[in-house]
Amino acid sequence: MNKLAVVALGGNALLRGNQMGTVEEQTQNTIDTLENLIFLVKEGYDVIIAHGNGPQVGNILMRNDAGEQLYNIPQMPLDIDVADSQGGIGYMIERNLRNVLKKHGIQKDVVTLVTQVVVDKNDPAFANPIKRVGKIYSREEADNLIADKGWIFKEEVKADGGWRRVVPSPKPIRVMNEKVIEDLARQGNIVITVGGGGVPVCEDEQGNLCPVEAVIDKDLASALIGARIKADEFYILTDVSFVYKDFKGPNEQKLEFLNHADTMDYLKDGTFAEGSMAPKIRACLSFIENGGGKSVVTEATKLEDRSYGTKITMEYED
């Protein structure tokens, strides 16, 4: 049986921070990213692709806001916006991946799944919303939205200030259709799933699925599906080639190989910043704690070069 790899693409792998977000920009970024995944296919891996949606879902929310203000078009709830971004980004990845595979003479089917991810309605994250979404509002605009929609806002720390909506980010506990995802991947199809961390849903007392105004961490959801379907390797593609201790500080140190115990110590010591690397490290640990063989954090263009990337395993590799 082929090795199975789950590859999590960051939202900025498709849309760079200094870009407008045109379809031409996102298409080229997607092609550039996918070119670096082809070696896994050539090495005989079965591949599952997950992706972020931070910049894209933010744009969807702003379009919602403009539509409501200018044309009285009702805003869609956040779960619909996440599903919207899953479909759009999944289509973009699938179409371009089919072209990249064709260019390399590889015959494979690519399947995009709009994926729901179950969270616990009693997750403590619902009492402490911290994930910032959408546009920045003035104090007056925020107060009106609080009164009208019950949204929660936090003040921005940037120089220009303002207020931004915050939503909960609960822990994913189950990915819907995980057996279908595994079967498709094991049959040699490339599967695109848990986009943006998945569409968040919870179960009511009767076991019915209910929408949730929240967002799920993409890396945690990717690690979860990887562990549940017994993937061998888990890759997080980001904008740095390695994880560092004291990143950009006077004692910066590259961390190429880590075991579980040392990684936990670094987390407890605050080595990894909560706003950037710490969540990715937790996802890597979650994968290997639940049976995965190896987690790797690296930069997308360095994926093929095994000398790059921080590799995290339960015990140090020989």
Report the DSSP beta bridge partners of residue 132.
166
Listed in order, strand segments (DSSP E) in 142-293 are 152-155, 163-167, 172-175, 190-192, 199-203, 209-211, 233-238, 243-245, 253-255, 257-259
Active-site residue, selected from the candidate residues 11, 54, 90, 226: 11
280 is catalytic: yes
Active-site residue, selected from the candidate residues 3, 108, 131, 302: 131
How do beta strands 116-119 and 172-175 pair? antiparallel
11 is catalytic: yes
Quick one: which H or E segment has residue 133? strand 131-137
Tokens of 11: 């939202």
96 is catalytic: no
Is the Cβ–Cβ distance between 217 and 169 less than 8 Å? yes
Tokens of 21: 């977000």
From first CA to last CA, the distance across the chain in angstroms is 24
Active-site residue, selected from the candidate residues 29, 197, 218, 292: 218
67 is catalytic: no
Is the Cβ–Cβ distance between 272 and 266 less than 8 Å? yes
Active-site residue, selected from the candidate residues 29, 59, 280, 309: 280
Q: CA of 238: how far to CAs of 120, 155, 183, 235, in Å?
A: 28, 27, 28, 10
Catalytic residues: 11-12, 131, 218, 280
